[in-house]
Structure 1
Amino acid sequence: MSSSSAKAAREALAAMDPRLPLHARLREALTERLRGGEWPPTEPLPAEAELAQDYGVSLGTMRRVLTDLVDEGLLERRQGNGTYLRRMQAQNSLFRFFRHYRQGDQVPASRILARETEPAPADVANALGERTGARTLRLHRVRLYDGEPFLVEDIWLPLPTFERLRDVDLDQIGDLLYPVYEQLCGQIVGSADEELWVELADGRIAELLGCSSGEPVVVVERVARTHSGTPVEVRRSRGLASTFRYRVEIH
């Protein structure tokens, strides 16, 4: 870190609420920089000793704060490779809920059936922090195991943030979308909220899932956000209720 950056780091720490303990002020100051995108997930943070020196704190205090941020899920440590801003590992989320008899550990295949620019419905716009009718890119896709659909997804992305996804060849979009968001649009998903409910399959969903119209399906709605808290995706995934399993550990 340059001398000017080190000076800025100490000034930011000094600006924190003096009633808080030093480690709490340091955590808040460092979190602001992390959420502001100063270090991309592809590059490690400076070494603990360097950060401690720049902030004018002990190595033990810096190490404690970094450990707290790892425990909170903002950072991750990679053995022998440093400490990084954590990417959210969202691909496993839905598969805590939906089970397929051929699933195993494989990532399901994806097929995008439609890609359209459309006004955001009121509930989607609200979740994205946009006005009703704001332009979005909607992806309609199915997730498959061995060619057999088991999830149907509708995904809304705000424009112009995701403009580059409008025209990219669909063959360049793999089975996982978050790496594409990062590579093409510079949007890194750091967290998400999910909500579940049950509804009856309409004709469109029933045809894609190979079930009868009116059969119960579980809807998982995800609102994904960047590390700074900006919502960048609304996703609704629908799967047959007969394949849905809910499991939670209570201690």
Structure 2
Amino acid sequence: MALFKHGRDHRLPLYQQVRDELLDNISSGTWLPDVPIPTESELAKSYEVAIGTIRKAVDTLVNDGLLYRSQGRGTFVRRPDFNASLFRFFRQMSSDRRFVMPTSQLLSKTLKKPSLQAASALKIDVNDNAICLERLRFLESQVVLTEEIWLPAPLFSSLIDLELSDFGNLLYPFYEQQCGQLIASAKETLTIQTANSYIAAALKTAQNSPVAVIERVAYGYDKTPLEYRISHGAAETFCYQIEIA
């Protein structure tokens, strides 16, 4: 039997052991989005298991949303589309009532101890170093969101020496390009709070006025927390819209 990278746990069904090995190829970046993974025949030969075992292992990763099959092209690592996820339900609305994506400006990048919330979300110690990004999001030249973004320093050390102008408008492709860290999923929680003096000044709204607060924890393919983000936006600029069939 071919050697598995992390050994064999014979308590698990064989397809699940293979599934864990395939997941390691995804989470480690061995298999990248937009590039077909090896065929089932090639994987069966590599792991010295039946094609049916490989197919069942791949099926579980497809069902989990980590892989997808493209007819006639092969099987690929799924790249989630986060471009509009923050605004899927609470989106900024332009003056002519169109939903548009804001632009961004990075204000600061510091290496420091994480906040209690960031440490808890990232599962790191409060004494560990973390990278903190402060960013504004604009809509038609008006600030609509403030963002505080925390990243575990060991995984994102390549960002420490970069200039603020080096950062792109979309951070997740930038993380992948600069650090090899791929965001696979995220969990968001939205609450309504009141604006403190800093948030009110940034959003040009009254202190203690209602603001929507979106907390996001973003994860890698292996469910390692990679980013903690907290965003504030004036409540009147948000629009909740959902279709119920």
TM-score range, shorter chain: 0.7 to 0.9
- One-letter identity of the residue aligned with 1:208: A
Report if the CA contact (8 A) 2:136-2:143 is conserved: yes
Structure 2 CA distance for aligned equivalents of residues 42 and 140 of structure 1: 31
**Counterpart selection for 1:155 from 149, 157, 166:** 149
- One-letter identity of the residue aligned with 1:156: W
Shift in Å, 1:29: 4.4
Report if the CA contact (8 A) 1:10-1:55 is conserved: no
Residue 27 of structure 1 corresponds to which residue in structure 2? 19
Structure 1 CA distance for aligned equivalents of residues 110 and 185 of structure 2: 25
Structure 2 CA distance for aligned equivalents of residues 56 and 98 of structure 1: 49
Write out aligned runs for 1:52-201 (5 A).
Answer: 52-59=44-51, 62-78=54-70, 81-102=73-94, 104=98, 106-201=100-195
- One-letter identity of the residue aligned with 1:94: L
Shift in Å, 1:46: 0.4
Q: Residues 249 and 28 of structure 1: is their aligned pair in 2 closer, same or farther, counting only changes over 3 Å?
A: farther
- Which protein is richer in helix relative to its size? 1
Shift in Å, 1:95: 0.7
- Percent identity reads 39
Please give the TM-score of this superposition, normalised by the length of structure 1: 0.82
Cα deviation digits, residues 38-61 of structure 1 (max 9, x gap): 323354210122223334455455
Q: Residues 100 and 52 of structure 1: is their aligned pair in 2 closer, same or farther, counting only changes over 3 Å?
A: same
Structure 2 CA distance for aligned equivalents of residues 17 and 30 of structure 1: 18
Shift in Å, 1:237: 0.9
Structure 2 CA distance for aligned equivalents of residues 58 and 99 of structure 1: 48
Shift in Å, 1:206: 1.5
Shift in Å, 1:232: 1.6
Number of aligned residue pairs: give it: 243
Gapped regions of structure 2 (runs ≥ 5) = none
Structure 1 CA distance for aligned equivalents of residues 4 and 217 of structure 2: 32
- One-letter identity of the residue aligned with 1:225: Y
Residue 222 of structure 2 corresponds to which residue in structure 1? 228
Structure 1 CA distance for aligned equivalents of residues 196 and 6 of structure 2: 58
- One-letter identity of the residue aligned with 2:116: A
Q: Residues 192 and 174 of structure 1: is their aligned pair in 2 closer, same or farther, counting only changes over 3 Å?
A: same
Please give the TM-score of this superposition, normalised by the length of structure 2: 0.84
Shift in Å, 1:89: 2.0
Q: Residues 234 and 7 of structure 1: is their aligned pair in 2 closer, same or farther, counting only changes over 3 Å?
A: same
Cα deviation digits, residues 170-204 of structure 1 (max 9, x gap): 23211100111111112111122222211101122
Q: Residues 142 and 236 of structure 1: is their aligned pair in 2 closer, same or farther, counting only changes over 3 Å?
A: same
Report if the CA contact (8 A) 1:10-1:56 is conserved: no
**Counterpart selection for 1:7 from 2, 16, 23:** 2
Q: Residues 131 and 50 of structure 1: is their aligned pair in 2 closer, same or farther, counting only changes over 3 Å?
A: same
Shift in Å, 1:240: 1.7
Shift in Å, 1:215: 0.9
Shift in Å, 1:99: 2.4
Residue 3 of structure 1 corresponds to which residue in structure 2? none
Report if the CA contact (8 A) 1:10-1:54 is conserved: no
Shift in Å, 1:68: 3.6
Structure 2 CA distance for aligned equivalents of residues 167 and 80 of structure 1: 43
Report if the CA contact (8 A) 2:35-2:76 is conserved: yes
**Please, what is the CA RMSD of the aligned residues?**
2.9
Report if the CA contact (8 A) 1:129-1:231 is conserved: yes
Shift in Å, 1:70: 2.2
Residue 213 of structure 1 corresponds to which residue in structure 2? 207
Structure 1 CA distance for aligned equivalents of residues 201 and 230 of structure 2: 17
